[in-house]
Amino acid sequence: MSPNDVTDLSVRELIAADMAERATAWLATLTPEQRLQAQFASPLVPDAEAERLRWFYTPTDHGGLALRDQTARQQGLAMQLVASGLSEAGYATVATVMGLENVLDQVEGWHVHWGRERGRDPGLYWLRLFGRPGDPVWAWRFGGHHISLNNLVVGGRVVSTTPCFIGADPASTALLGEALRPLGGPEEAARQLARSLDSDRYRVALLHESAISDIVSGNRPAIAHGDTMMHMQDLWRGSFSDPTLRHLVDDIDRRAEEGSGYTEADHAAMAIYLPPTGLSARDLDLGQRHILRQLIALYSGRAPSALAEAHAAHYAADNVLDEIHFAWAGSLRAGDPHYYRIQGPDLLIEYDNTQRNANHAHSVWRNPRSDFGLDSLAEHRRRSH
């Protein structure tokens, strides 16, 4: 039984209705020119669907209408739609990550331009709709640097909220009297689980002694057996015509690979395999299984609270948790580069904090069976034709 099955249909319908109301309110304020950027055809149209499946977490053009090109009122309505697809904590995390662009601008000395007037810009987060809100099939996505939210509604029900990517750069930054760590919870919970393992089980969980430099699934629309890490050059919307920017991306990738020390054989060892590699939850004790459930909830808890509760109920079943594997790479010491993966039939979670001296984190929550709601969309097409 999947999380879709355990969720009361009315819950998914209520969330979808809220999304449709907020999307309609936003669209009503847009000029004709803005609508051309903001709204694509239905996911049932092949060209629009191809665009919907293109997602990014780099500071590239994510497609849609950018916040900086909207009025203050339009921005507020756009963020109301974003919030409708997240829990309260999920929305706060996303808003914090967007604000970190100002901090990153300072960290980089205000000089990285990425081919635009301001290189790190909290206004460069794009919202795009596919189809009309309230139609039998419609979707929306929101993304920019370190954020990618993807939602599909079929038959008046939210059927997919993944892939869901949240990153943070810097992963930890000083506030007055404390530190700001948007992804500190998922990092510490996973480290706690890895540290709780005895030597035999830790050897099974350990994929590699050193951490890989990025998540392995990258921004692929679907996950396949044997996928290896995508390199920086492949994570953008097209290639750079500016040789300076091409060199910048090549240099980032080169430094990341030098930092990890990975060879092709190392990347093969870290590939995504079906069935999963790592330590099965069957081999965890009761306390460790509790930590694993809590860790999964820190990802599925990004979804609206009612959906998050359904996911928690799903993984509360022992037979479901037994299918999950936990894997680690890199050091167990706080502040050192590390990576972890949680994988099962309907779950893929990846987290890395390796770049910028282990102060640049990426995290993604995916469902290999229904990312982008492709299974529900296929069923809709079958029933409609």
163 preceded by a cis bond (ω within 30 of 0): yes
Amino acid at 335: G
CA 338 to chain centre: 18
Domain for residue 97, yes or no? yes
Instruction: Compute the CA torsion angle 351, 284, 3, 274 (nearest 10 deg).
Output: 60
Domain for residue 259, yes or no? yes
For residues 161 and 200, membership in a common domain is answered with: no
Domain for residue 384, yes or no? no
Residue at a domain's end among 171, 197, 216: 171
- 194's tokens: 């890895």
Residue at a domain's end among 108, 140, 171: 171
For residues 228 and 160, membership in a common domain is answered with: no
Domain for residue 378, yes or no? no
Cα–Cα distances (Å) from 279 to 251, 310, 323, in that order, read 35, 25, 10
Measured between alpha carbons, how far is 150 from 166 in angstroms, rounded to an integer? 12
For residues 186 and 154, membership in a common domain is answered with: no
For residues 235 and 362, membership in a common domain is answered with: yes
pLDDT tens, position by position, for the chain (385 residues)? 455 554 567 899 999 999 999 999 999 999 999 999 999 999 999 999 999 999 999 999 999 999 999 999 999 999 999 999 999 999 999 999 999 999 999 999 999 889 899 999 999 999 999 999 999 999 999 999 999 999 999 999 999 999 999 999 999 999 999 999 999 999 999 999 999 999 999 999 999 999 999 999 999 999 999 999 999 999 999 989 899 999 999 999 999 999 999 999 999 999 999 999 999 999 999 999 999 999 999 999 999 999 999 999 999 999 999 999 999 999 999 999 999 999 999 999 999 999 999 999 999 999 999 999 999 999 999 998 6
Domain for residue 330, yes or no? yes
Measured between alpha carbons, how far is 355 from 291 in angstroms, rounded to an integer? 26
Measured between alpha carbons, how far is 124 from 245 in angstroms, rounded to an integer? 18
Measured between alpha carbons, how far is 188 from 368 in angstroms, rounded to an integer? 25
DSSP for 215-261 reads: -SSTT-SS--TTB-PPPGGGSSSS--SSHHHHHHHHHHHHHHHHHHT
All residues at 6 or more sequence positions from 199 whose CB lies less than 8 Å from its CB, including other chains: none
Q: Quick one: three-class SS letters along 254-282?
A: HHHHHHHCCCHHHHHHCCECCCCCCEEHH
For residues 156 and 187, membership in a common domain is answered with: no
For residues 304 and 346, membership in a common domain is answered with: yes
Cα–Cα distances (Å) from 307 to 14, 193, 269, in that order, read 11, 25, 34
For residues 197 and 292, membership in a common domain is answered with: yes
Total domains, the chain: 2
Instruction: Identify whether the C-beta of residue 354 lies closer than 8 Å to the C-beta of residue 256.
Output: yes
DSSP 177: T
For residues 227 and 321, membership in a common domain is answered with: yes
| pLDDT in the model for residue 216 | 98
Instruction: Compute the CA torsion angle 75, 76, 82, 86 (nearest 10 deg).
Output: 150
Residue at a domain's end among 171, 190, 220: 171
Measured between alpha carbons, how far is 185 from 174 in angstroms, rounded to an integer? 17
Domain for residue 260, yes or no? yes
Strand partners, 174: 179
Cα–Cα distances (Å) from 371 to 53, 143, 162, 179, 214, in that order, read 9, 16, 5, 34, 20
Structural domain boundaries enclosing 307: 182-372
Cα–Cα distances (Å) from 88 to 112, 197, 303, 371, in that order, read 32, 33, 9, 22
For residues 155 and 212, membership in a common domain is answered with: no
For residues 116 and 198, membership in a common domain is answered with: no
Domain for residue 211, yes or no? yes
Domain for residue 385, yes or no? no
Strand partners, 227: 272
For residues 353 and 265, membership in a common domain is answered with: yes
For residues 11 and 90, membership in a common domain is answered with: yes
Measured between alpha carbons, how far is 37 from 69 in angstroms, rounded to an integer? 10
| pLDDT in the model for residue 384 | 86
Measured between alpha carbons, how far is 185 from 183 in angstroms, rounded to an integer? 6
| pLDDT in the model for residue 6 | 46
